[in-house]
């Protein structure tokens, strides 16, 4: 049997807590990023964009991995909850990828000297963005709840291959985007402790926002599906 | 799925195309038109550069593949034969693999026509024809898998003519880059680079072939 | 219509899985060796040494990447930018037009796009500053650069 009723715990208890935690974390992260973290010796104040750019990118990676898990979950169990989480995660993932691209572009102009260039990290990220926009387009044009879920699941599985490619692209070839500062093989993070702390709080804030948005959106999706299924009975 | 059944599907497609070649002719004409158009718009001088000509070629071939693939299931849909084929055990896989093989066959023909045309129009100097042939063959084998998967996925959707390119193009970027670079290296005479890029193209094609065959049982309805 | 789990194969399901895994292993192996062969030079820029080895013809647009040597000059009046880019082995003299990006400095990385002239100098149509992945606060008493807002 396919369960479509949203779990009660999610809607009643967790979401408000997530919401409050998100706001708190975001406030603290903003304060740390703007006031507490030191400026960079080379780039000056403009380096602070990192505290938006990097967490957005990482959370987008997380989101797309969750899309993959939700897709596999749907194909395996036929429970619409998995599909609801997948679409919610894809929407937030696309949003955060867009944010990372825009923030990155704003950061690039005063530092690199250009708004955009066709280098490995930027290219692969742009491709990833288009892939998941395609995922959402496919859903929008797909009638039938279960067929839509199956179609999206296929794309969700094929597209996730791109995520490690995006991250590793700068290590594989000559690129303009610098090598990973934190997530690097065999080395401790290459940044000042206060910067690292601010970055991690930023990541926490973005993750909480992600979880809150996904919870809200997934619940909405399940409620919609339930209504449609009711209408069909 | 048995390889034999896949071959049967592919053979059926090719036989039908021989009887009614308008589809293949249209694709080949489309390819020729694109090569012509691109060369004129970009400027023959620029188009002749060893890095540019392959890019134009592979983009044109990709669009020819999309145009052909979008029609490939029409026959089954018209005859309502699709459900019958799918009902056979291993039917989905055989159908998918057969269609992929058939599309590769069509692309081989279209690619040959387009390639000869490009070489003639642009007066291209080919340093390593064998390497170029290898790169082209591997690219032709690498493209159909994703395209057919996306067509199968969007089979009963009205908007699939717009959706299939949106879904297929991002996924095909690595294959396109590898094929273009392998071809460019072959034109310029860099044997080791050409072979390395061809090897990379083969690896990517294998990965997506496995992925396609794994996913296809669930994808086709 | 509920799609059933993948249709059962008449025997050979294990064989098929083995075949697919083998194909994947082969693919990864081939890919790995291909990457080793291609090296990091793949797509975005060439180092000066790579450009020399490939004998890039004058007039062909290419991107070079390397470090900026001491001796960077920019003339406000003529808008001439001159510096040397090096990878430690080969040095290329670069001529640019217009103000350099704020982060372009001696000892730091740069990527230039343009063409080689017949005498071996490089005329850049685009100059991009590259910075490394290390972030650190300014040393005490040193104010961070004012040019970056």
Note the residue count of chain A.
Answer: 233
Q: Which of A63-77, B29-43, B52-66, C44-58 has the lowest mean pLDDT?
A: C44-58
Neighbours of chain A (3+ CB pairs under 8 A): B, C
Task: Assign C74 to helix, strand or coil.
Answer: strand
Give the number of domains in chain A: 1
Specify the DSSP class assigned to residue A11: I
Q: Is residue C126 classed exposed, middle or buried when 0-12, 13-18 and 19+ CB atoms within 10 A define those classes? A: middle
Task: Assign C81 to helix, strand or coil.
Answer: strand
Q: How many CB atoms lie within 10 A of CB A185?
A: 7
Residue of chain B minimizing CA distance to C1: B221
Looking at the complex, report in whole angstroms how far the Cα of residue B149 sits from the nearest Cα belonging to chain A. Answer: 9
**Cβ contacts of C70-78, under 8 Å, gap ≥ 24:** C70/C106, C70/C107, C71/C106, C72/C100, C72/C104, C72/C105, C72/C106, C74/C99, C74/C100
How high does pLDDT run on average in chain A?
89
**Beta-ladder partners of C86:** C67, C91
Mean pLDDT of B185-210: 90
Q: Tokens for B63? A: 């669009």
Which tens digit of pLDDT belongs to each residue from C33-71?
A: 777 777 655 568 888 988 888 788 888 888 999 999 988
Residue of chain B minimizing CA distance to A160: B171
Q: Is the pLDDT of residue B28 over 80?
A: yes
Instruction: Give the separation between CA B177 and CA B194, rounded to whole angstroms.
Output: 12
Instruction: Give the separation between CA C97 and CA C81, rounded to whole angstroms.
Output: 6
At C11, the pLDDT band (50, 70, 90 cuts) reads very low
Give the percent of chain A with pLDDT over 90: 64
Mean pLDDT of B184-193: 88
CB contact under 8 A, A141 and B170: no
Q: Which of A171-185, A188-202, B30-44, C71-85 has the lowest mean pLDDT?
A: A171-185
Q: Does some domain include residue A101?
A: yes
Of B78, B176, B171, B89, the C-alpha closest to B135 is B176
Residues on B contacting C at a C-beta cutoff of 8 Å = 1, 49, 89-92, 177, 181, 190, 192-193, 195-197, 199-200, 202-204, 206-207, 209-210, 213-214, 217-218, 221
| pLDDT value of position A153 | 94
| pLDDT value of position C107 | 87
| pLDDT value of position C39 | 61
Residue of B92, B202, B218 lying closest to C30 (CB–CB): B202
Neighbours of chain C (3+ CB pairs under 8 A): A, B
* C48 in Cβ contact with C87 (< 8 Å): yes
CB contact under 8 A, A113 and C101: yes
Q: Is the pLDDT of residue B65 over 80?
A: yes
Q: Helices then strands (H, E): number in chain B?
A: 10, 0
Note the residue count of chain B.
Answer: 221
Residue numbers in C near B197 (CB within 8 A): 34, 38
CB contact under 8 A, A154 and B215: yes
Q: How many CB atoms lie within 10 A of CB A1?
A: 5
Task: Assign A184 to helix, strand or coil.
Answer: coil
Residue linked to tokens 């910067």: A195
This prediction has a pTM of 0.87
Residue of chain B minimizing CA distance to A130: B170
Q: Which of A34-48, A170-184, B136-150 has the lowest mean pLDDT?
A: A170-184
* A154 in Cβ contact with B218 (< 8 Å): yes
Q: Is the pLDDT of residue A195 over 80?
A: yes
Going from N- to C-terminal start, the domains of chain B cover 3-219
Higher per-residue confidence, A232 vs C62: C62
| pLDDT value of position C143 | 63
Angle at C66 between CA C65 and CA C68, to 5 degrees: 125
Angle at C1 between CA B221 and CA C3, to 5 degrees: 55
Determine the structural domain holding residue A137 and report its residue range.
8-37+44-228
CATH number (1.10.3720.10, 2.40.50.140, 3.40.50.300, 3.40.720.10) of C48-130 reads 2.40.50.140
Surface of C (37-76) touching A: CB under 8 A: 40-47, 65
* C45 in Cβ contact with A174 (< 8 Å): yes
The interface predicted TM-score (ipTM) is 0.85
CB contact under 8 A, C44 and A174: yes
At C8, the pLDDT band (50, 70, 90 cuts) reads very low
Specify the DSSP class assigned to residue C3: P
Residue linked to tokens 């390395």: B196
* A58 in Cβ contact with A203 (< 8 Å): yes
At A12, the pLDDT band (50, 70, 90 cuts) reads low
Q: Is the pLDDT of residue C31 over 60?
A: yes
Q: Which of B8-12, B145-149, C25-29, C139-143 has the lowest mean pLDDT?
A: C139-143
Residue numbers in B near A157 (CB within 8 A): 211, 215
Specify the DSSP class assigned to residue A160: T
* B154 in Cβ contact with B163 (< 8 Å): yes
Q: Is the pLDDT of residue B162 over 60?
A: yes
Q: Tokens for B61? A: 């071939």
Distances (CA, A) of A35 to A29, A31, A39, A50, A52: 10, 6, 10, 14, 14
Residue numbers in B near A150 (CB within 8 A): 218-219, 221
Which tens digit of pLDDT belongs to each residue from C66-118?
A: 999 988 888 888 889 999 999 889 999 999 988 888 888 888 899 999 999 99
| pLDDT value of position C35 | 73
Of B219, B216, B161, the C-alpha closest to A137 is B161
Angle at C139 between CA C134 and CA C145, to 5 degrees: 75
Query: What is the Cβ-side half-sphere exposure of residue A63, based on CA atoms within 13 angstroms?
Result: 31
Angle, to 10 degrees, between the axis of helix B129-153 and the axis of helix B91-122?
Answer: 140
Residues on C contacting B at a C-beta cutoff of 8 Å = 1, 3, 6-10, 16, 20, 23-24, 26-28, 30-31, 33-35, 37-38, 42-43, 54, 60
| pLDDT value of position C95 | 93
List of residues 6+ apart from A186 with CB closer than 8 A: none
Of A195-209, B203-217, C94-108, the range with the highest mean pLDDT is A195-209
β-strand pairing of C91-97 with C122-130: parallel
């Amino acid at each position: 049997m396919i369960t479509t009723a949203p779990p009660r715990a999610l809607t009643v208890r967790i979401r408000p807590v997530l919401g409050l935690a998100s706001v708190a974390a975001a406030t603290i992260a903003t304060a740390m990023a703007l006031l507490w973290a030191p400026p960079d010796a080379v780039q000056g104040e403009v380096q602070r964009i990192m505290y938006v750019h990097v967490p957005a990118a990482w959370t987008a990676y997380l989101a797309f991995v969750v899309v993959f898990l939700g897709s596999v979950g749907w194909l395996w169990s036929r429970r619409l909850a998995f599909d609801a989480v997948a679409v919610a995660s894809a929407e937030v993932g696309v949003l955060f990828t867009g944010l990372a691209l825009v923030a990155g572009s704003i950061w690039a102009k005063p530092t690199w000297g250009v708004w955009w260039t066709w280098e490995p990290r930027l290219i692969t990220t742009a491709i990833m963005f288009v892939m998941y926009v395609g995922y959402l387009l496919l859903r929008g044009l797909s009638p039938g709840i279960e067929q839509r879920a199956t179609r999206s699941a296929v794309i969700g599985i094929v597209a996730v291959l791109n995520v490690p490619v995006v991250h590793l692209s700068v290590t594989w070839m000559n690129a303009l985007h610098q090598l990973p500062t934190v997530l690097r093989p065999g080395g401790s993070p290459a940044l000042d402790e206060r910067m690292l702390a601010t970055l991690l709080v930023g990541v926490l804030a973005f993750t909480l926002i992600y979880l809150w948005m996904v919870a809200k959106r997934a619940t909405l999706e399940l409620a919609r599906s339930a209504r449609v299924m009711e209408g069909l009975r | 799925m048995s390889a034999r059944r896949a071959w049967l599907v592919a053979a059926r497609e090719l036989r039908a195309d021989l009887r009614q070649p308008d589809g293949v002719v249209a694709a080949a004409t489309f390819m020729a038109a694109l090569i012509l158009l691109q060369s004129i718009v970009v400027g023959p001088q620029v188009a002749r550069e060893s890095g540019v000509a392959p890019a134009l070629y592979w983009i044109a071939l990709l669009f020819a593949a999309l145009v052909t693939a979008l029609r490939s299931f029409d026959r089954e849909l018209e005859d309502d034969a699709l459900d019958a084929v799918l009902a056979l055990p291993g039917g989905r896989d055989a159908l998918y693999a057969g269609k992929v093989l058939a599309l590769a066959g069509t692309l081989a023909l279209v690619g040959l026509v387009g390639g000869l045309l490009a070489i003639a129009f642009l007066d291209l100097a080919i340093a390593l024809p064998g390497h170029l042939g290898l790169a082209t063959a591997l690219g032709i084998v690498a493209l159909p898998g994703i395209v057919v998967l996306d067509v199968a996925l969007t089979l009963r959707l009205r908007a699939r003519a717009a959706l299939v390119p949106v879904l297929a193009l991002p996924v095909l970027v690595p294959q396109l880059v590898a094929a273009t670079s392998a071809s460019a290296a072959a034109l310029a005479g860099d044997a080791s680079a050409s072979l390395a890029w061809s090897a990379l193209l083969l690896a990517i094609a294998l990965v997506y072939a496995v992925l396609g065959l794994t996913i296809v049982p669930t994808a086709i309805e | 219509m509920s799609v059933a789990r993948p249709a059962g194969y008449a025997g050979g399901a294990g064989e098929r899985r083995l075949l697919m895994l083998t194909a994947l292993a082969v693919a990864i192996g081939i890919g790995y060796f291909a990457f080793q062969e291609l090296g990091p030079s793949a797509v975005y820029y060439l180092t000066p040494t790579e450009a020399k080895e490939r004998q890039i013809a004058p007039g062909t647009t290419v991107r070079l990447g390397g470090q900026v040597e001491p001796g960077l000059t920019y003339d406000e009046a003529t808008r001439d930018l001159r510096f040397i880019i090096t990878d430690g082995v080969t040095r290329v003299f670069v001529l640019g037009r217009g103000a350099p990006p704020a982060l372009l400095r001696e000892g730091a990385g740069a990527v230039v796009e343009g063409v080689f002239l017949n005498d071996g100098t490089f005329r850049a149509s685009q100059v991009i500053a590259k910075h490394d992945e290390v972030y650190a606060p300014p040393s005490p008493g040193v104010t961070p650069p004012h040019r970056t807002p």
